[in-house]
Amino acid sequence: MAYPYVFRAQAPPATAKEAMAPQPQVREPWPAGGGGGGWMGVGSGERLASAYDLVEQMHYLYVRVVKAHGLPASAVAGGCNPYVEVQLGNYRGTTRHYERNGAPEWNQVFAFSRERVQATVLEVFVRDKDGSTVARDGYVGKVTFDVGDVPARVPPDSPLAPQWYRLEDPRDGGGGRKVHGEVMLAVWVGTQADEAFADAWHADAASLRGGGGVAAVQSTRSKVYVTPKLWYLRVSVLEAQDVVPGAAGAGGEKGRHGEAFVVKVQVGGMMLRTKPCCARGPTSLAWHEELVFVVAEPFDEPAVLIVEARSHPGKDEIVGRAVLPLALFEKRLDRGGAAAQSQWFSLEPFGHWLRTPTPAATFAGRVHLRACLEGAYHVMDEPTMYASDTRPTARQLWRPPIGVLEVGVLGAQGLAPMKTVDGRGTTDAYCVAKYGQKWVRTRTVVDSCSPRWNEQYTWEVYDPCTVLTLAVFDNCHLGNAGGGGGNGGAVKDQRIGKVRIRLSTLEMDRVYTNAHQLAVLHPSGVRKNGDICLAVRLTCLSLSSVVRLYGRPLLPKMHYIQPFTVVQLDGLRRQAMSIVAARLNRAEPPLRREVVEYMLDADSHLWSIRRSKANFFRVTALLSGAASTVRWFVDVCHWRNPATTILVHLLFVTFTCFPELILPTMFLYMPMVGVWNYRRRPRRPPQVDVRLSCAEATNADELDEELDTFPTSRANDVVRVRYDRLRTVAGRIQTVVGDVATQGERVRSLLAWRDPRATALFTALCLVAAVVAYVTPFRVVALVAGLYLLRHPRFRSRMPSAAGNFFKRLPSRADTML
């Protein structure tokens, strides 16, 4: 479903009357590409600017409240507790108040949307919190503006300079109005491209349930986040010397033999350990094991190394510990050069760092390590198939960008109500997009099932074979916002749906304006929650650079020179994902952990019957082409269509007589098929396919199993039923794998003499075939074999062939299994 129209950027209005008046919209079935010469002539090292030409221009009346001075003091409290109230029609916003401050500074921006406000007068009030400065209602003074006379500003114009305005009280008697101080204000009309848009207090935030508070208002603002810089920390535990258990006063004999020693290394919340090692001598140990962690800048948390001795099963004794700041380790930026320098580190005895009574000794041995921070790897925090970035950690190794990705988040339509407030369903939706290291979050549109964001963002593209991920969430922290960075207890933002767009499926310099379906799994089944409308444009800076990338490795070279195992990569990805979620959850406003985990597919490694079925059907669909070809060839051999069979005979004879035509014909056939399919090429990015995902055909129990926590939180009876079902599925897979192994072992047994008669017969037949092939030209052999294979059904038998009967009689190793 294509979004019906987009809004072209228009010339900025000269005054607020033009800006705040209804604007005629220019509707086009397909807007101009907009990439063109402006992008093509820009060097790769220059900073690229993007115009807001993918979204509709939304006009806002901005009011910046800077500060005030000369405010009158209260006769009762002896001071003024001032705050500012900005009112436009039925919408109003207030700043925070200051206790007994006659010259407060707020520097706060308010934004009022043209669509929601019809008033023509803007009023700015300064009030006293305790209500006793001038009048009972705390009224100090006000400034009035005619909305039609407010100037308009469009970036890149410089910000409007604030001015001082007198606070007058029209209620004072006499011939003139009494002045109660001055307030510094800046009032202008702008769009969502204004720099003040992201941090402004929006008019729709006035409807926050329960008053909201500062944290609730902050959680409605649009923000840009950056993934922390991640490194791989490689720690090679080589050996240890002078390690004597019991030397720290823990009891027992010194120098016990036969003990197993283990080294544990902890960085942050992750701990890895080596295999047990027995002492080579009285005080000498050797492990030569490598441990890999994910760490993030800044390196606040050190690496803690602990040596333990195990003298009895289940009893470990801490021998010593070393605290190693990560700044001690060198950063490797080379691609497979010399190994990092090894270092010796002293161990503190057990109890020394706990400040408990210990002997005077402060030395418990030393350990030999080779540790470094790897900057030539790309630290994966998302599945490889959905990767949005493949650059190494070290910026010095980055290639120049090859393009620019622009995404306009227009809005959503038909969103399902996600919660019930005062007996009616409502949704407070916001959108999150991730590409590379940059995360963006749109503002929260409160109480709307058809929100309009009209926000545009830009990313630099370094590889076209990457994926842009967007998701829509319902903000559940407006009425009960907690402290900064918290999760608000058990309250979590609800998922509405997710969209992925692979950049390689987009044509360069073309605007794709479409509505993408939002669907999410629910215990009751798949839930379709509406559509999100996006405008996407991928602009190419250098076509030759894009073409060259298709022949280069997807990941940096170190992933192929010194690769990690699959198990290591899976564990490191979970570490990276946990670090990113923790860091972004501490931002202000926080990008909460449930949001980050959903964007990064945190549960992609867990078992799911639905995914297993979907992957099975994908493999079946992949093999259906080969199966159709086999069926077509069988029909040709059985002369189902005589004309086709005769044509195949002619082609076969031609290729047999002129074999040099085979490869040119094959390579010519491929481009012909490509040109034929060009007219049926996709005209829009792929959508979420609920049918391909087997989401509609999955029962409630299977969905509940997929959405279950790990480890499981379900009752024992439920787990037992699911385990039995898993055994049934695994039994079928086991049978198929066993059949494949049987056929392969039969092939190997042809010359293995497990069946002496079969091997002797096969050997004799091969000798005869070798003599016949030697004395007969190859073309004759191929022609006879082909004509025999394509013979008429009259010369065929319905019984299995002799070759098939011979192969099925061969032995396998299945009869030697238990």
Q: What is the DSSP string of 378-411?
A: ----S-GGG-S----SSGGGPPPP-EEEEEEEEE
CA–CA distance, 703 with 166 (Å, rounded to integer): 65
Lowest mean pLDDT among 16-25, 149-158, 363-372: 16-25
Where is pLDDT greater, at 448 or 255? 448
CA–CA distance, 435 with 387 (Å, rounded to integer): 9
Residue 720 makes CB contacts below 8 A (sequence gap 6+) with none
- Does the structure show a pLDDT above 80 at 638? yes
Is residue 421 left, alpha or beta, with left meaning phi > 0 and alpha meaning psi from -120 to 50?
beta
What tokens appear for 729 in the block?
Answer: 């599925």
Helix (H) or strand (E) holding 787: helix 778-789
Q: Quickly tell me which residue has 């390196």 as its tokens.
A: 299
Q: Which stretch, 8-12, 142-146, 196-200, 282-286, has highest mean pLDDT? A: 142-146
Tell which residue, 111, 112, 80, 85, has the closest CA to residue 96: 85
What is the tens place of the pLDDT at every residue in 30-53? 333 333 333 223 333 333 334 678
What is the tens place of the pLDDT at every residue in 359-388? 545 778 899 999 999 999 999 999 988 999
- Does the structure show a pLDDT above 80 at 562? yes
Is residue 672 left, alpha or beta, with left meaning phi > 0 and alpha meaning psi from -120 to 50?
alpha
pLDDT classification of 816: cutoffs 50, 70, 90: confident
In this prediction, residue 762 carries a pLDDT of 92
Q: Which stretch, 83-92, 232-241, 620-629, has highest mean pLDDT? A: 232-241
Tell which residue, 20, 5, 115, has the closest CA to residue 55: 5
In this prediction, residue 800 carries a pLDDT of 85
- Does the structure show a pLDDT above 60 at 176? no
Q: Give the sign of the dihedral formed by CA 734, CA 740, CA 743, CA 748.
A: negative
CA–CA distance, 725 with 388 (Å, rounded to integer): 36
774: three-class secondary structure by DSSP: helix
Query: Other CB atoms closer than 10 Å to residue 522's CB: what's the count?
Result: 14
CA–CA distance, 795 with 448 (Å, rounded to integer): 74
Contacts of 727-732 with CB under 8 Å at 24 or more apart are 729/609, 729/612
In this prediction, residue 22 carries a pLDDT of 42
What is the tens place of the pLDDT at every residue in 482-511? 444 444 446 899 999 999 999 999 999 999
Q: Quickly tell me which residue has 């007996």 as its tokens.
A: 423
- Does the structure show a pLDDT above 80 at 534? yes
Q: What is the distance of C-alpha 333 from the center of its chain?
A: 26
Helices (H) and strands (E) in the chain, counts: 15, 33
Mean pLDDT to the nearest integer, 515-524: 90
CA–CA distance, 34 with 51 (Å, rounded to integer): 10
Mean pLDDT to the nearest integer, 778-802: 86
Q: Quickly tell me which residue has 């823990």 as its tokens.
A: 250
What is the tens place of the pLDDT at every residue in 328-353? 999 998 765 677 888 999 988 866 55
In this prediction, residue 689 carries a pLDDT of 85
pLDDT classification of 395: cutoffs 50, 70, 90: very high
pTM: 0.81
Residue pair 457/451 in contact (Cβ under 8 Å)? The answer is: no
Residue pair 519/695 in contact (Cβ under 8 Å)? The answer is: yes
Q: Quickly tell me which residue has 């077509």 as its tokens.
A: 632
Q: What is the distance of C-alpha 72 from the center of its chain?
A: 54
- Does the structure show a pLDDT above 50 at 4? no
What is the tens place of the pLDDT at every residue in 271-298? 999 998 876 665 678 899 999 999 999 9
Q: Cis bond leading into 156, ω under 30°?
A: yes
What is the rounded average pLDDT for all residues in the chain? 82
Burial label for 183, CB within 10 Å (0-12, 13-18, 19+), is: buried
Mean pLDDT to the nearest integer, 768-781: 89
Q: In the 3-class helix/strand/coil scheme, how is 490-519 assigned residue by residue?
A: CCCCEEEEEEEEEHHHCCECCEEEEEEEEE
Residue type, 17: K
Residue 309 makes CB contacts below 8 A (sequence gap 6+) with 245, 259, 260, 261, 316, 317, 319
Residue type, 512: Y
Lowest mean pLDDT among 14-18, 227-231, 780-784: 14-18
Q: Quickly tell me which residue has 């801490």 as its tokens.
A: 318
Residue pair 409/442 in contact (Cβ under 8 Å)? The answer is: yes
**End-to-end C-alpha distance for the chain, whole angstroms:** 57
- Does the structure show a pLDDT above 80 at 175? no
What is the tens place of the pLDDT at every residue in 411-445? 999 999 998 887 888 899 999 999 999 999 999 99
DSSP string spanning 599-642?
A: HTTTTTTS--HHHHHHHHHHHHHHHHHHHHHHHHHHHHHTTSSH
- Does the structure show a pLDDT above 60 at 517? yes
Mean pLDDT to the nearest integer, 540-554: 89
Dihedral through CA 94, CA 95, CA 100, CA 101, nearest 10?
-130
Tell which residue, 23, 24, 13, 9, has the closest CA to residue 54: 9
In this prediction, residue 28 carries a pLDDT of 35
- Does the structure show a pLDDT above 50 at 250? no
What is the tens place of the pLDDT at every residue in 653-696? 998 888 888 888 888 989 998 899 888 888 888 888 888 888 88
Residue 263 makes CB contacts below 8 A (sequence gap 6+) with 237, 240, 273, 274, 287, 289, 305, 306, 307, 308, 367
- Does the structure show a pLDDT above 90 at 598? yes
Q: Residues for the chain: how many in total?
A: 818
In this prediction, residue 41 carries a pLDDT of 33
What tokens appear for 616 in the block?
Answer: 């099975």
